[in-house]
Amino acid sequence: MLIRLLRSYLRPYRRELTAVLVLQLIGTIASLYLPSLNADIIDFGIVTGDTGYIVATGGWMLTVTTLQIVCSAGAVFFGARTAMAFGRDVRGEIFHRVGRFSAREVAQFGPPSLITRTTNDVQQVQLLVVMLCTMFVTAPIMCVAGVIMALREDVGLSWLLLVCVPVLVIAIGLIVVRMVPQFRKMQDRIDQVNRVLREQLSGIRVVRAFVREPAETRRFADANTALTDTALRVGRLQALIFPTVMLVLNGSSVAVLWFGAYRVGAGEMQIGALTAFLNYLMQILMSVMMATFISMMIPRAAVCAERINEVLDTEPSVNPPPEPVRELPARAELEFRGVEFRYPGADEPVLRDISFRAESGRTTAIIGSTGSGKTTLLSLVPRLIDVTGGEVCVDGVDVRELDPDVLRDRIGLVPQRAYLFTGTVASNLRYGNPDATDEDLWQALEIAQARDFVEEMPGGLDAPIAQGGTNVSGGQRQRLSIARALVRRPEIYLFDDAFSALDLATDVALRVALRPHTRKSAVVIVAQRVSTILDADQIIVLDNGSVVGIGNHRELLGSCPTYREIVESQLTPEQVA
Amino acid sequence: MTTQTASPRPQPSPMGRGFPGMGMPVGKAENFGVSARRLLDRMRPERYALTAVVALGVTSVAFAVAAPKILGHATDIIFAGVLDPRAGIDFGELAEVLAWVMVLFLASSLFAWVQGRLLNNVVQRVVFRLREDVEAKLHRLPLRYFDGQPRGELLSRVTNDIDNVSMTLQQTLSQMLTSLLTVVGVLVMMFTISSLLALIALAVIPLSVIVTGQIGKRAQKLFIAQWRQTGALNAHIEEAFTGHQLVTVFGRQRESETEFRRRNEELFESASGAQFISGLIMPSMMFLSNLSYVVVAVVGGLRITSGAMTLGEVQAFIQYSRQFTMPLTQVASMANLMQSGVASAERVFELLDAEEQEPDPVDAAEIAGRRGRVEFESVSFAYRPEVPLIENLSLVAEPGHTVAIVGPTGAGKTTLVNLIMRFYELDAGRITLDGVDITRLRRDDLRSQTGMVLQDTWLFGGTIRDNIAYGRPDATEEEIVAAAKAAHVDHFVRVMPDGYDTVIDEEATNVSAGEKQLLTIARAFLASPSLLILDEATSSVDTRTESLVQHAMAALRSSRTSFVIAHRLSTIRDADLILVMESGRIVEQGTHTELLERRGAYHRLYAAQFAAPDPT
């Protein structure tokens, strides 16, 4: 999964990656060349007392160093750009993909999960790419080049490499292998501790009301102890790493000196070469160490890559038609013909055999208990999801054959959960109609019974709105959300339980004001309160996904027992009659 | 923090945190000294362990620092052998020297290991206690405190900030100590070998400080920009995904994507810039290190030819100078990390310092009889002093009666409940339960008498069974099921994958708002208190189910005093007393019939609720 993601999204940056590779190669060779120059200074300068040689070689060393820094900087430049471009591209692709998702795919992942995948997960993989471009690339180069240089200095000591490198790899490996699962466990336990705290904060009233502080403290203490236990275990392993590495490194240098001394004594090796060999060995060991640590990041990045691929591999279930209908008569008419909707694999459909017609200037109300499929029914109209049987027609054309823009242009939806975007009152109201004048906005606010409080807000129309609309009350949010749909002046209004957050007086005033405005539109209202829909031209009673009654209030009272039950639960007997 | 990438010491940060502090804006502590001292104060109980840590650290570093010098002797022995081929290398002496070095290295590693372990224990214990204190503090804070700040902010304090403190302590304490000791030790060793060369090497310090400082400053700016743009981009993503439905239906997909692309591109520019600039630190430090290497080699070479130094000494010196820059860079980066850690600690301390609720009276009154008579005597209360909410309010709820509170949003209905539960302290007047002032009771005793169901349901992460039994953990299975049946959730629970063992939490998506409310009602049923408070308890439940629950509740209510707040007037028609509230005052009270006859505020509300709109 990780490889697939990296391969497909790094492909456009092959040239940059090649540049990174070449530059790192040159840079690494340059830095590896330095100990050899130092050896020369010792062997040919110091031993013979040739000061000129020392200075000349020193100058050459600085030149090489300069080359090295230029190459490193270049590699960092291309590496950084590639890694960040990779992140940008993957993020862009996910965002684009999610934009095409239908409500079903969004619900399947859940918005929070999609957000994490687009942000954190991409960041994790991106971090790995950064590391790959900087340290991980240099490590093998450093290692191979180091080996070559070391061999050039002295082949006789090369067996030491064969001992020291595996010892280091095994030593670190043993620790790291134990650490990785502990790290994962620790993350879980941090999450657990934070979850308990989050719950305590959000449920503080309940905790206090039920006098559960001692129990909560115990619950927290358990989580805290579990976390500390794991942290101690991780820490114990972590404390082992540095001393172990140092011991291996230092032990190796002692070994080199000891065995090197024999070769120098036998005249098979120069003393400068011994020093250089030592330096190379250190460099090789360091690079091996670096590579080992970076590989620790791979499992995590792989998990993230998998989560990213899951999104990228999900096909949207709602797609625009290949030859969309762009022209259609403005009749403001919505019709359901034998509509069925079922989730794939489900035994029972959510909706079955739904047929009705909502016409211009008329109000259609949909009522039914929780879980009867009311919201699902509305979602079929703007194609947030698609029917699995029958058809939904707007102005006589199946919505699946319409150009999505044309279709959605005709629809004004007020969702159950009012959601506002960061910006101002005005920018939110203009969300569905950027060309609306201030006058249009005020008119919509007036109908939505929101004029008064908007006028009182500092800045009026320009008053800031926080993300999600959290800086206004639930009822205000709902009214702004209604006004937003009104500004659009659509042919078909879909109100999904949009009046529930309003107090009853406001509810009534709003519906009265709405009437003249929607004279040329079809209005569909999903409601829980009978009082909201008493005057609807037709009421559709849903029960377990089926229509159990269509008619006006009076008709249904006589003909539909379910409707009667709903009404009786809300109204007094006098009112029912 | 920008020097993090240059961290030369193997420092595997906990996975997922990436490189500590990278890209994280340095939160500056308001009062660095004070907060840092308080943090140290919290380590006081660990002072013996800490003394041991320092002692071990000093020894370990001293050994590690001394070793290269002795290793230099080894080179000298070999060199002497080369210079005098007839005598050859004195392998006996060499063996002895190397054996000593090996012992030093071994001891150094051993000490470092013990030190690391000890320190880790200390840090974990300190952080454990800090978490414990914070959690305990949460239960002692008045609710007013929680109202005063956004929940996210508080949550971040108790989670992220503590995590950050823990990470900082762990990383800085050990590294700071070793790095500083190493710098000092290495410097001492360099001077003992050759003061001339030592001075040359020292010249690198200001150079590297300038270079890292300059690069750091530039990178810092870019990192802050990157941080801000990441925030902006994430906010956009969050909005687009959370409001996905709206974006789609309002046909704003294209605009949303254009906006996304612009921000994504901006982020790319600053992020790659920041990465590049900070990535320059390592090569620059390497260059400086090499520069001093060359100078030391040249000067050292000259000194050897002039006989002022031995080859082994130069060798040792070069090793030292290589060890010198690493800890320096580290100290610099630690300083940044510490800044952010102390800033976090400061925020945690602020929480710990916050004023607590009044402690329970020592000679607390006992609740006798459990009758459940509640009386408000000229109560005044305001959340914020400048906005008076409840003024001079009096009311009586007789035992076994149901008192309904109605009125528009913001009238203070929920506030009354908060006051009965003593979530807030009164500004004036008093509330009595069975004649006893509630401030004379222990809060736990008062609240044990009370069952509360709120509009905002709250379920904790656990099984459905545990959630229902929240108020009475010792309840039997039969009692739990009976409560669930009374609340009409038994069927719903049984169709869940694991029935009563199904794990749910606050974000549970498989439980609707209405079902959550029913679960919390079951919870209150089971707790079986003498005082029942229902605050919009069935607002998300459809009316049919609601009326069924109502019946069950009626049985529950008959034997105890209840307060019911409801939007839907149908819910409260049978109440013994209906209070109509408007802006903190009770404007009307009486039974349903009485109030309707009065044709006042209640009648208006009632008419509004049930009247059809005027079809003009």
pLDDT in tens, B171-181: 787 778 888 88
CB contact under 8 A, A84 and B295: no
Interface A–B counts its CB contacts (< 8 A) at: 452
A107: tokens are 């619900």
- What's the pLDDT band for B13 if we cut at 50, 70, 90? very low
Rounded-to-10 torsion of CA A90, A96, A102, A107: 40
State how far the Cα of A475 lies from the Cα of A503, in Å rounded to an integer.
8
Give the residue from B277, B515, B610 with the most A CB atoms within 10 Å of its CB, the best one to mutate: B610
pLDDT score, position B12: 32
CB contact under 8 A, B447 and A529: no
Write the residue in A76, A511, A569 that is nearest to B543 by C-beta.
A569
- Residue B420's closest chain A neighbor by CA? A209
B287: tokens are 């260059």
What integer is the mean pLDDT of B7-27? 35
Per-residue pLDDT of A445-468, as tens digits, reads: 999 999 988 988 888 899 888 777
CB contact under 8 A, B293 and A61: yes
CB contact under 8 A, B138 and A203: no
Query: Does the pLDDT value for residue B27 go beyond 60?
Result: no
- What's the pLDDT band for A376 if we cut at 50, 70, 90? confident
Asked if A281 contacts A150 with a C-beta cutoff of 8 angstroms, the reply is: yes
- Describe chain B by its helix, strand, coil percentages, rounded to 5: 65, 10, 25
What integer is the mean pLDDT of B491-506? 73
Asked if B612 contacts A508 with a C-beta cutoff of 8 angstroms, the reply is: no
What integer is the mean pLDDT of B455-476? 82
- What's the pLDDT band for A373 if we cut at 50, 70, 90? confident
pLDDT score, position B7: 31
**Nearest CA to CA, how far is A210 from chain B (Å)?**
5
pLDDT score, position A102: 87
- Residue A98's closest chain B neighbor by CA? B241
What integer is the mean pLDDT of A421-438? 90
Per-residue pLDDT of B220-238, as tens digits, reads: 788 788 878 888 888 888 8
What integer is the mean pLDDT of B194-200? 86
Write the residue in A211, A529, A565 that is nearest to B447 by C-beta.
A211
Task: Map tokens 């054996």 to a residue.
Answer: B99
- Which residues in chain B (344-363) have CB-CB distances under 8 A to chain A? none
Write the residue in A234, A289, A530 that is nearest to B10 by C-beta.
A289
Interface check for B12 against chain A (CB to CB < 8 A): the answer is yes
CB contact under 8 A, A535 and B127: no
CB contact under 8 A, B159 and A194: yes
**Nearest CA to CA, how far is B123 from chain A (Å)?**
9
CB contact under 8 A, A293 and B257: no
What integer is the mean pLDDT of A176-192? 83
Asked if A348 contacts A542 with a C-beta cutoff of 8 angstroms, the reply is: no
A508: tokens are 């009534």
State how far the Cα of B325 lies from the Cα of B371, in Å rounded to an integer.
77
Q: For A468, which DSSP code?
A: B
CB contact under 8 A, B98 and A258: yes
Give the residue from B125, B161, B249, B574 with the most A CB atoms within 10 Å of its CB, the best one to mutate: B249
B508: tokens are 């549970």
Quote the percentage of chain B above a pLDDT of 90: 9
DSSP A316-371: PS----SS-B--------EEEEEEEE--TT-SS-SEEEEEEEE-TT-EEEEE--TT
Query: Does the pLDDT value for residue A573 go beyond 60?
Result: no
pLDDT score, position A299: 78
Strands (E), B300-399: 374-381, 390-397
Least confident of A119-123, A439-443, A491-495, B126-130: A119-123
Give the residue from B272, B470, B533, B614 with the most A CB atoms within 10 Å of its CB, the best one to mutate: B272
- Residue A86's closest chain B neighbor by CA? B268
Give the residue from A28, A57, A253 with the most B CB atoms within 10 Å of its CB, the best one to mutate: A253
Write the residue in A115, A235, A467 that is nearest to B241 by C-beta.
A115
Interface check for B17 against chain A (CB to CB < 8 A): the answer is no
- Which residues in chain B (231-290) have CB-CB distances under 8 A to chain A? 233-235, 237-253, 256-257, 260-261, 264-265, 267-268, 271-273, 275-276, 279-280, 282-284, 286-287, 290
- What's the pLDDT band for A18 if we cut at 50, 70, 90? very high
Judging contacts by C-beta atoms under 8 Å, the chain A residues touching residue B135 are 197, 200, 217, 220, 224
- Which residues in chain B (581-600) have CB-CB distances under 8 A to chain A? none
CB contact under 8 A, A73 and B283: yes
- Which residues in chain B (470-489) have CB-CB distances under 8 A to chain A? 470-471, 473
pLDDT score, position A574: 57
What integer is the mean pLDDT of B337-344? 80
CB contact under 8 A, B110 and A243: yes
Query: Does the pLDDT value for residue B10 go beyond 60?
Result: no
- Residue A536's closest chain B neighbor by CA? B612
CB contact under 8 A, B251 and A405: yes
pLDDT score, position B6: 31
What integer is the mean pLDDT of A328-334? 85
CB contact under 8 A, B124 and A232: yes
Interface check for B84 against chain A (CB to CB < 8 A): the answer is no
pLDDT score, position B11: 31
pLDDT score, position A550: 93
Judging contacts by C-beta atoms under 8 Å, the chain B residues touching residue A106 are 241, 244-245
Write the residue in B10, B112, B248 that is nearest to A384 by C-beta.
B248
Q: Report the half-sphere exposure of A73 (CA within 13 A, side-chain side).
A: 14
* Helical ranges in B84-161 per DSSP H: 91-140, 143-147, 151-156
Give the residue from A64, A138, A206, A285 with the most B CB atoms within 10 Å of its CB, the best one to mutate: A206
Q: Report the half-sphere exposure of A439 (CA within 13 A, side-chain side).
A: 0
Query: What 3-state DSSP class applies to B173?
Result: helix
Asked if A332 contacts A524 with a C-beta cutoff of 8 angstroms, the reply is: no
Question: B331: closest CA among B232, B454, B187?
Answer: B187
Per-residue pLDDT of B400-438, as tens digits, reads: 888 988 887 667 788 888 888 888 889 999 999 888 898
Quote the percentage of chain A above a pLDDT of 90: 27
Judging contacts by C-beta atoms under 8 Å, the chain A residues touching residue B207 are none
Least confident of A381-385, B1-5, B77-81, B190-194: B1-5
Give the residue from B244, B256, B262, B289 with the most A CB atoms within 10 Å of its CB, the best one to mutate: B244
Tally of CB atoms within 10 A around B224? 16
Per-residue pLDDT of B556-588, as tens digits, reads: 777 788 888 877 777 777 888 898 888 778 888
**Nearest CA to CA, how far is A92 from chain B (Å)?**
7
CB contact under 8 A, A101 and B94: no
What integer is the mean pLDDT of B502-522? 73
CB contact under 8 A, A134 and B5: yes
- What's the pLDDT band for B511 if we cut at 50, 70, 90? low
Write the residue in A115, A239, A531 that is nearest to B610 by C-beta.
A531
- Which residues in chain B (365-404) have CB-CB distances under 8 A to chain A? none
Per-residue pLDDT of A215-272, as tens digits, reads: 889 999 999 999 999 989 988 888 888 889 889 988 998 898 888 888 888 888 887 7
- Residue A90's closest chain B neighbor by CA? B264
Write the residue in B14, B251, B544 that is nearest to A186 by C-beta.
B14
State how far the Cα of A144 lies from the Cα of B11, in Å rounded to an integer.
24
CB contact under 8 A, A370 and B112: no
State how far the Cα of A432 lies from the Cα of B364, in Å rounded to an integer.
61
